[in-house]
Chains A and B, each alone.
Chain A
Amino acid sequence: MSHHIIDVKNLKHTYADGTAALRDVSFRITHGESVAIIGANGAGKSTLLMHLNGYLAPTSGEIRIGDFPLTKSTLPEIRRTVGMVFQDPDDQLFMPTVHDDVAFGPFNLGLPGEEVEQRVNEALEQVGAAHLADKPPYHLSGGEKKRVAIATVLSMTPDILVMDEPTSGLDPYARRRLISLLRDFRHTKIFTSHDLDMVMDLCERSIVLHEGKVRADGPTMEIFRDEILLAECRLEKPLSMQGCPVCGRGRCRS
């Protein structure tokens, strides 16, 4: 099961216009972990994610996914292993119907038609969206879009799920539903998010990025208790850890 391991060593990335988005990032994520990558806007989260499935190439440093170093020749295998869910589902759902969209990945893997059908049904079933199969993406609600976007990735049976801001733009009910859906996944999971309550719900470990570097890496609860660290990185405690504004009592879990 070494497929599920992500190893990032001294990753640096400088954009063509000279912006150094990642200065020195190293971490190792092992099988079955659920990890949040948090940090202020511009800390380098999105740039980091784009490296994990090879859309951006490192300026220097190394990334290993499972047994493979990330190179041009291992790219197809790595893209199957790492399922990437984008922040805006409108970017991810580009086919005429939900069904075609979920089938897009399996078809590209070269699977036969029956197998594709089976995977589409399973993936849609898993996210509770089987009834949406024949709809076009623009007829879906925000929460439905998000779940279908996840299904488009699940149908490729990835070992690692990478999600950029999974709860952004969702109403409270859709958010809650998504969180419980994600909790049930047995994959190795990596999230970026500003929704720190969700992070607390889902991730036992957090990596804090600050100005392109790993500022902290450890158990989520410890990080959220470190007020100095949070302030430095322009973050705040999750609301559920802050004192109640009415009675002043904290509701801190540990």
Chain B
Amino acid sequence: MGIDESFRGLRLLDQLAFGETAVHRLDPRAKVLVTLIYVVTVISFGKYDLSALIPFFIFPAVMISVGKLPAGFVTRKILLLSPFVLMVGIFNPIFDRETLVRIGPIGISGGWISCTSIVVRTMLTLGAALILVGVTGLPAICSALEKMGMPRVLAVQILFLYRYLFVLAEESGRVSKAREMRSFGRRGLGMQTFSSLVGHLLLRTWQRAERVHMAMLARGFNGEFHTRKEFDFGLRDLLFLFGWTALFISLRFWNLSQFLGDLLTGIFS
């Protein structure tokens, strides 16, 4: 992925958090908790569970719709599956050849099912993380986590990182564009150029940190950070939290796909 491309994705995701929908207005703690419960529930299925995972697509579908997130963008992001996961997943069909399911003459091995299950899990869990950011925004997630016990130092650290991510991504975009323009073919993309380029970037970053520190001191910084964000956990947030949790747990123990399938095959047989 090129710099510009990944940076655009970052910016878009950041913008989404400024939406004005019912989900955006919820207490970030409720959204963080629901997302975590969702991820743990999805992960908790056995490796051969596939059909039972499918109803869990309801969560991203509802959140994307109500939160007015661009479905195409989220889908594309999720479908860029990590090559590492694919690499590991693809071994399942090789090592697990025992036929588990038979549809007419075709036998499907356990390996293929668990491999597909891994792919579905990837989509569900990564989708949940992206959606959480899209309807909440990193600063709000950060203060939610802080209220839930994350050390202040880390919260401040994440906020600083996030703030300067935009500045530095632009800066590194400029230097690498300048490099590419003058490196014909592949020459000039080697490690020597790279290290001096990154070294320069590092030194400039260091100087920037010094200037930021200066600006903080100039306004009386004494080690404390204050932010205005106060949330109150209201009835809506409670309903959101318990509603989804109840659904996740029910879907965990009751295979909706199987039920619907049985219903349908029952009707036709």
Cβ-defined contact, B212 with A96, below 8 A: no
Q: In the complex the two chains form, is A53's CB within 8 Å of B218's CB?
A: yes
Most chain A CB inside 10 Å of its own CB: which residue of B216, B217, B227, B228: B228
Q: Say which one of A4-12, A34-42, A78-86, A168-176 lies at the interface with B.
A: A78-86
Would you call A203 an interface residue if the criterion is a C-beta within 8 Å of the partner chain's C-beta atoms?
A: no
A79 contacts which of B164, B217, B227 (Cβ < 8 Å)?
Answer: B217
Type the 1/0 row for A123-151, where 1 means its CB is closer than 8 Å to any CB of B.
00000000000001110000000000000
User: In the complex, how many residues of chain A place their beta carbon closer than 8 angstroms to a beta carbon of chain B?
Assistant: 32
**Which residues of B from 211 to 228 have beta carbons under 8 Å from A?**
211-212, 214-222, 224, 226-228
Q: Shortest CB–CB separation between residue A208 and chain B, in angstroms?
A: 25
| A73 at the binding interface (Cβ < 8 Å) | no
Within 8 A of B (CB), among A145-161: 152-153, 156
Q: Does A137 contact B211, Cβ atoms closer than 8 Å?
A: no
Cα(A152)–Cα(B226), bound, Å: 14
Question: Could you tell me if A96 and B227 are in contact, using CB atoms closer than 8 angstroms?
Answer: yes
Q: Which residues of chain A are near B14, meaning CB under 8 Å? A: 136
CB pair A84–B218 under 8 Å, yes or no, is: yes
With A137-B163, A138-B163 in contact, is A95–B227 under 8 Å at CB?
yes
Chain B residues with CB under 8 Å of A53's CB are 217-218
Q: Are B228 and A50 in contact (CB under 8 A)?
A: no
Q: Interface SS of chain A: helix, strand, loop or mixed?
A: helix
Interface residues in A75-95 by Cβ distance below 8 A to B read 76, 79-80, 82-84, 86, 88, 90-92, 94-95
Q: Are A109 and B163 in contact (CB under 8 A)?
A: no
User: Which of B160, B167, B219, B227 is A108 in contact with, Cβ under 8 Å?
Assistant: B219
What would 6 A/B residue contacts be, using CB atoms closer than 8 Å? Answer: A79-B217, A84-B218, A92-B212, A95-B163, A104-B216, A136-B139
Extra A-B contacts (13), CB below 8 Å, given A91-B212, A91-B214, A137-B163: A50-B214, A55-B217, A76-B220, A79-B217, A79-B219, A79-B220, A83-B218, A84-B218, A92-B212, A99-B228, A100-B226, A108-B220, A156-B219
Residue ranges of B at the interface with A (Cβ–Cβ < 8 Å):
14, 139, 159-160, 162-164, 166-167, 208, 211-212, 214-222, 224, 226-228
6 closest A-B pairs by beta carbon, nearest first, are: A108-B220, A105-B219, A96-B139, A138-B166, A107-B226, A91-B211
